[in-house]
Each structure stands twice: as structure tokens, then as C-alpha cells.
Amino acid sequence: MSGQSRQIARFFQVGLLATVLGAASAVASPATDKVIANVRLPPGFKLEVYADDVPFARSMTLGSKGTLFVGTRKGMVYAVSPAAGSGAKRATRTIAEKLNQPNGVAFRDGALYVAEVSRIIRYDGIEASLDTIPAPSVVRDDFPKDGHHGWKYIAFGPDGKLYVPIGAPCNVCDQPKYAAITRMNPDGSDREVFARGIRNTVGFTWHPTTRELWFTDNGRDYLGDDVPPCELNVAPRPGLDFGFPYCHGRDIKDPEFGRLGECSKMTPPVQLLGAHVAPLAVKFYTGTAFPERYRNLVFIAEHGSWNRSEKSGYRITTVKLDGNKAVSYEPFATGFNRGNEVYGRPVDLLLLEDGSFLVSDDQAGAIYRLSYAVKD
């Protein structure tokens, strides 16, 4: 157990609703107490602690037997098991440690895929051996070793391929082998670049109907508090260029590299997001538990700024679409910070079969469950 976990005192039990992973209660901590007390949601919605003993929790994926796997940027990967029964606490195991920023996790055919900075590894039959973790197989180990934007979000697409981004190894630079989303077969073969000109995406998903790739992108730093915007993008086909490092947002020329590219030839964002909000997870709401107006809405976890005079982000937002055109960009869950005091930082969103979302928070080291309790 990490030092952060040992320092978290247990105060009281918080009852949780039954989920696809089983009914249970989670123990609140001082860190999660502040989040729960300060987060503001639309009427009828509720945020509860799902597990608070998951230090630095980042990307999430669900196993076929209900195990929640959680990656981090601190070397550990966790497995949060379904509760044994009503009132029982979920067991959190550290199933890997001392890895190189194992942020990304994905599950397929009984195997857990984990993305480190320069390689993808795979744990076969993982849910049958959580107490004795098998040695991983190396799927591919020839990704760049740069630590700057080296941590990865990974996911399997509807085409059965594993999508793996390669972030720019800098704030802004012209490095053709970087700033891209790649894809490959589950065994690591036939890797190809799917999209270019993407500074650093740490969250993507596919449209539930069109199966097009949607992704967030973190804008560059040091152009000011309000420039450039972060982005929500869609790649309806392979081969598109989204502008980095030449253009930011829709038509903001980079002061150093802008002369090397034409913004009019780049694929523009679907929606401009707030400057420096650090958008990570993006998911379509395809469940039925939320009111009808939320169906197919885009949910985005905004991790929050680090280099802005007044902090921005630290919230969950929504984008409403008309086809592939954004018609609104609104805050949904706010209050993860109060001014410069930060309580939590949303990272990933995972939709459960019961229509609720799990939300990871690497600041508080917790997973929350976002549900809707009041019927229209």
C-alpha cells in the first residue's frame, strides 16, 4: 500500500446503490469527503464513493467477470473486485507495480492490455489469477521512450484493433513520428498511423451509430491564459491531419511553427473547449438510466489546468450534437475545485450496464459512481 493510502483515515460508511458489479458500500476519506461535499450536479443526479483506496486512479476498463482494472501514472495497476455481498467493501489489489507510467488499460478476450510509455504488455487470463498474477507478454515494445506526453490511453475500436496514441514529446515541436493516433492488431502486428497532428490525446471513443473515432486533445501551453483552446475532434476516416504543431483550435497559427502549415488544410475541431482545461475522457451516453435528454450526449472529463493564473477545468462537461455538429458545450459536474483549492481531478469515465458512470480521480485516489435517482 502506498504512503498516500496509509495517510487516508477511514471515517464512515457510504451506502451505494446496486450496480452491475454488485451492491456494496465504500469507505469515505477526507479527500473524497471534500469532493462529495462540493460537487454540484443537475437535479436528480448523485455522486457517491465507489472505491477510495485506488491511489492515483486514471484509466479504467471492465473485465468480463466484473473486475474493474485501473491504470495510473505512478507505476501501479489495480484490480477492484466486485463486492462479495450487500454491505461488503470491494477489494482493491495492486496487480502490477514499478511499471513505466501504466496509464492505459484495455480488456479483450480475457486478457488485460496495459500501456506503458514505450510498450504494450498483456496479462492473459487475468481474472482467474488475481491472487497470483501471471508474467505479462510483450505485445509491442517499439514506441518512443520520451516521458513528456509519453503516458497513453488505449482502447479497442469497433474494427477490433487496438488504438494507441503517441503524444508530442514537448510543449510544441515538429516531430513527424509523434503527435498521432496509431492502431494495430491485438497481437501488435500491422501497426499504422490512423490520424496525425494531435498534440496529446488521453481519451477517445467511438460514436455509437457511425462508429467514427472521437477524441479530446490538450492544447499547447504558454500562449496565455485563454489561448489556445483545447479540442473535441472527430476522425470519420483514416489519414486526417488535425493541425499540430502548425495550427491550434480552428485557425490560430503557432508563433513558431505556423508558417510551415496551412490551417485551411487541417481538420478543424468539432468543439472548442476551454483553454488549459486538460480534457481527458470522452464518452457518449448510451444508457437509459439518465433522462432522455442525455441520450447520446458527449461527456468529457476535464482534468484541470496547471499553468493558468485562475484555474480552469476540474469538472465534467457535456457537448450536444446535431449529427457531427456541436450545438452546445455545458458544465455538468462542477466543484472539484474552489478557486485555486483543488479537491479532485476527473480523469476517466466508464459507462456501466445499469446506465451509471464510474469516474476516476487521480487527485483523491478514488473512483466515484455517478447515477440518476429521480425519475422525470
CATH at residue 115: 2.120.10.30
pLDDT beyond 50 at 6: no
Determine the residue type at 217.
D
Confidence band, pLDDT 50/70/90 cuts, at residue 324: very high
Percent helix, strand and coil across the chain, each rounded to 5?
A: 5, 35, 55
- The domain total for the chain is 1
What's the confidence (pLDDT) of residue 85? 60
Cell representation of residue 175: 516531430
273-300 burial, b for 16+ CB within 10 Å, e for fewer? bbbbbbbbbbbbbebebbeeebeebbbb
Q: pLDDT tens digits, residue range 217-250?
A: 999 999 999 999 999 999 999 999 999 999 999 9
Whole-angstrom distance, CA of residue 310 vs CA of residue 154: 31
| 3-class DSSP assignment, residue 234 | strand
Q: Which of 300, 263, 273, 275 is nearest to 285 (CA)?
A: 300
Determine the residue type at 73.
R
Q: pLDDT tens digits, residue range 37-59?
A: 999 999 999 999 999 999 999 99
What's the confidence (pLDDT) of residue 326? 97
What's the confidence (pLDDT) of residue 73? 98
What's the confidence (pLDDT) of residue 84? 64
Give the pairing type, strands 137-140 and 120-123: antiparallel
What's the confidence (pLDDT) of residue 28? 52
Determine the residue type at 42.
P
Task: Quote the domain boundaries for residue 173.
Answer: 3-372
CB 349 within 8 A of CB 299: yes
Whole-angstrom distance, CA of residue 247 vs CA of residue 261: 7
Q: Say what the pTM is.
A: 0.91
